Structure 1
Amino acid sequence: MQLTKSEEQVMKYLWKLEKGFMKDVLDCFPEPKPATTTVATLLKRMRDKGYVDYTTFGKSREYYPLIKKSDYFAKHVNGLIKNFFNDSASQFASFFTSETDLSTSELEDLRKIVDQQLKKKQQ
């Protein structure tokens, strides 16, 4: 199950914090900060979806992510490739490199990354 935009924002703060109480999560938000009840509802839904959990200290809960940021975004990108690019990474790469405003040096950097991955797979 995917996260909503609001849940994803809370998740980004938790990844940054690594673990935190409600106050810590709220402190991450810019002004005007959402209501505590709103964030509590988001955290509950995220826990139900299996993305976060918490440790109880008295009446307080310290929340922490159950999924790594890299794993979440890898799953997200793989879903995008499957759903919008006929499960073709090359179609995705073609779209990405032609439809985004990448500089020559950014494209060169991408080429280096691909070359490094090719070397790893050939070993």
Structure 2
Amino acid sequence: MSLSNSEEQLMEHLWKLEKAFMKDLLEAFPEPKPKTTTVATLLKRMMDKKFVAYTEFGNSRQYYPLVKKSDYFSKHVNGLISNFFNNSASQFASFFTKETNLSEKELEELKKIIDVELQKKKK
């Protein structure tokens, strides 16, 4: 199950805040801020999809994510690799490094990440 763009944007704020009341979520948005009813509708849909839950404090609800950001994006990246790159991570990496115009510094950082992962696999 995935999120719409607006749900994803709201989820980003919730991941950052970890726990948030409606006013906290509204404050997190840049101007022009969405209406409270819009955010409430998004939260309801996200609860139905089992991405968000809440704890009640009197009349207020404190929302929190049920899905980790890393799990959500990992699933999407794996889906992307599967759907567009014949399930080949190396085809994806080749496309990513060529098409995103990475700087030499960024490529070096990427190489370090890969080297660390290679060392872990060898153990």
- Over the aligned positions, Cα root-mean-square deviation in angstroms equals 0.7
Task: Give ranges in structure 2 of 5+ residues lacking alignment.
Answer: none
Task: Give ranges in structure 1 of 5+ residues lacking alignment.
Answer: none
Distance in 1 (alpha carbons) for counterparts of 2:31 and 2:116: 43
How do residues 1-123 of structure 1 correspond to structure 2 at under 5 angstroms?
1-123=1-123
Q: Which amino acid aligns with 2:34?
A: P
Question: TM (normalized to structure 2)?
Answer: 0.97
Q: Which amino acid aligns with 2:37?
A: T
Large movers: runs of 4+ above 3 Å: none
Structure 1 residue 49: deviation in Å?
0.6
2:3 counterpart SS class: coil
The count of aligned residue pairs is 123
Structure 1 residue 112: deviation in Å?
1.1
Q: Once the two structures are superposed, what CA deviation does each residue of 1:29-49 show, in whole Å capped at 9, x if it has no partner?
A: 111111101000000100111
Question: TM (normalized to structure 1)?
Answer: 0.97
